[in-house]
Amino acid sequence: MAFFQKLKSKMFKSSSKIDEGLEAIVEDGGATDTPETVDEVPVDQVMDAPQAAAQALPEAVDDEPAPMPADEEDTPAPVPLRETMTPVAPDLVPAPPEPAPAKPGLMGRLMGRSAAAPVVRRVLDDEMLEQLEELLISTDMGVDTALRVTANMAEGRFGKRLSVDEIKRLMATEVARIMDPIAKPLPIYAKTPQVVLVVGVNGSGKTTTIGKLASQFKAAGKNVVIAAGDTFRAAAVEQLQVWGDRADVPVLTAGQGSDPASLAFDAMTQAERDGADLLLIDTAGRLQNRGDLMEELAKIVRVIRKKDPSAPHNTLLVLDATTGQNALNQVKVFQEISDVSGLVMTKLDGTAKGGVLVALADKFGLPIHAIGVGEQIDDLQPFDPQEFADALMGLDPQ
Ligand SMILES: Nc1nc2c(ncn2[C@@H]2O[C@H](COP(=O)(O)OP(=O)(O)OP(=O)(O)O)[C@@H](O)[C@H]2O)c(=O)[nH]1
């Protein structure tokens, strides 16, 4: 299955929510295109009315070659989605997308040349904008971000008639614009071992993310060491050992309840001795006792800095998308207790709250390195803003 299709199908809860919501909104007060309403279609994303009228004429004259629509002439050849991606590791690079099935253009639909249902459009007015805002807020995009997205999409289009597909594309463009600056792969430095401290509340997906990263970096030829720094949770240690065995990556553990900083120090020693490229350190996520957790993380950092004053090189905060707006609060807290350098958002496959990633980008501007869309190794994917925005909106590949 093509990468985009996979992402879209995995994020279906958010996208189907938007799909259904948008259809209801446009149906409510919308109308199918008629010769009268075609004059009101001039949304810049689609053909404007005079163009539509001009191009409708040659269709009736069989001998004349139909002119190429102006916007098709100007459109550069589409860049394959794969070329737009910046992978975290080579294995994150997906297979090339399958060619999208040919879709009838606007003219085809206006001329009834396809079996597709007639296009319903609704005038963009205050009431509709409010409904669109509510729809975006229901995906956990947050009020401020939802307002920004709808305000930007409405600019210059107020009073125009829009279809569900056109609204999706406009919103996807706005979402991608917000996400663009923060889509950055995990930086890889020349200095080794590169120490990546992984933080986040219990259950957010830290252990799984470390396992996926270790497997993918190992497959990319990197020498990786894992430290199971959540010494209180035996299950987390066992889970890491399973991932370590699978990826053939050593996992350093310590007795239950022992000092995670001491384990981190030992792990640094081993990583240096083995000439490791990467040391991934799991940490506890007990936010119930914030003071203790802060002290524990600070001690780990102090200890590894004895070996390398520039470590940790990355502090990765793992967030669970199903927690919705709560993820914003977690970023705030973890920024206070650690030096968060980037985010991984997990479980985007199982939630209708995928919009929270847009809110995070809008509010904090922290780099998003990767997204988790399942429990398998290849379900940790590089973050591509346009693909994410399209998948969130339930759009087909362009
Ligand atoms: N569907 C889905 N499940 C995920 C994803 N990432 C992690 N999980 C699951 O979420 C659960 C919690 O993940 P862990 O990796 O154990 O989370 P943790 O933050 O290490 O939690 P503790 O071990 O309790 O500290 C596990 O059942 C994982 O399989 C994802 O992207 N999608």
With vertex at residue 34, the alpha carbon angle to CA 32 and CA 37, rounded to the nearest 5 degrees, is 90
ipTM value for the complex: 0.94
Q: Is the CB of 230 under 6 A from ligand 1?
A: yes
200 is in an annotated binding site: yes
Q: Give me the residues of the chain with pLDDT under 70, please.
A: 1-14, 30, 33-117, 397-398
Domain chopping of the chain, boundaries: 194-393
Residue 31: beta bridge partners? 121
Give the tokens for residue 167. Answer: 């609204």
CATH architecture of the domain formed by 194-393: 3-Layer(aba) Sandwich (3.40)
Position 226 scores a pLDDT of: 96
| Residue 143 CA, ligand 1 centroid: distance in Å | 28
Q: Is the CB of 233 under 6 A from ligand 1?
A: yes
Pairing relationship of beta strands 161-163 and 120-123 according to DSSP bridges: antiparallel
CA-based R_g, the chain, Å: 25
Position 349 scores a pLDDT of: 87
Give the tokens for residue 141. Answer: 């995009």
| Residue 205 CA, ligand 1 centroid: distance in Å | 3
Position 49 scores a pLDDT of: 35
Report the side by side order of strands in the sheet with 161-163. Answer: 31-32, 120-123, 161-163
Distance between start and end Cα atoms, the chain: 16
Dist. CA 90–CA 215, nearest whole Å: 11
**Closest among 358, 342, 350, 344 to 390, alpha carbons compared:** 358
Give the tokens for residue 118. Answer: 């007639």
Nearest CA to ligand 1 atom 1: 374
| Residue 203 CA, ligand 1 centroid: distance in Å | 5
- The answer to whether residues 166 and 375 touch, using CB atoms and an 8 Å cutoff, is no
Q: Check residue 185 and report its DSSP letter.
A: P
**Closest among 208, 201, 205 to 329, alpha carbons compared:** 201
Q: Check residue 278 and report its DSSP letter.
A: E
Pairing relationship of beta strands 380-382 and 368-372 according to DSSP bridges: antiparallel
Atom of ligand 1 nearest to the CA of 211: 15
Q: What are the backbone angles phi and psi of residue 343, rounded to the nearest 5°? A: -120, 150
Pairing relationship of beta strands 120-123 and 31-32 according to DSSP bridges: antiparallel
Dist. CA 135–CA 140, nearest whole Å: 9
Position 117 scores a pLDDT of: 66
Dist. CA 203–CA 249, nearest whole Å: 22
Q: Is the CB of 285 under 6 A from ligand 1?
A: yes
Residue 159: beta bridge partners? none
Atom of ligand 1 nearest to the CA of 372: 31
Dist. CA 345–CA 322, nearest whole Å: 10
Q: Is the CB of 349 under 6 A from ligand 1?
A: yes
| Residue 296 CA, ligand 1 centroid: distance in Å | 22
Atom of ligand 1 nearest to the CA of 203: 21
Dist. CA 144–CA 165, nearest whole Å: 24
| Residue 200 CA, ligand 1 centroid: distance in Å | 11
285 is in an annotated binding site: yes
Length of the chain as a residue count: 398
Residues 6+ apart with CB under 8 A from 19: 164, 394
Place of tokens 């994303």: 45
Element (H, E) at 303: helix 290-307
Counting ligand 1 atoms within 8 A of each CB, the residue from 207, 344, 383 with the most, and so the one to mutate, is 207
Position 51 scores a pLDDT of: 37
Dist. CA 35–CA 20, nearest whole Å: 27
160 is in an annotated binding site: no
Position 357 scores a pLDDT of: 94
Residues 6+ apart with CB under 8 A from 233: 202, 284
Q: Is the CB of 128 under 6 A from ligand 1?
A: no
Position 129 scores a pLDDT of: 94
| Residue 206 CA, ligand 1 centroid: distance in Å | 7
One DSSP character per residue, 74-119 reads HSPPPPPGGGG---SSGGGPPPPPPPPPP---HHHHHTT-SSSPPP
Q: How many CB atoms lie within 10 A of CB 18?
A: 26
pLDDT digits (tens, 9 = 90+) for 18-74: 888 888 898 887 677 665 554 444 444 433 333 333 333 333 333 333 333 334 334
Position 281 scores a pLDDT of: 97
Element (H, E) at 84: none
Place of tokens 């190429």: 68
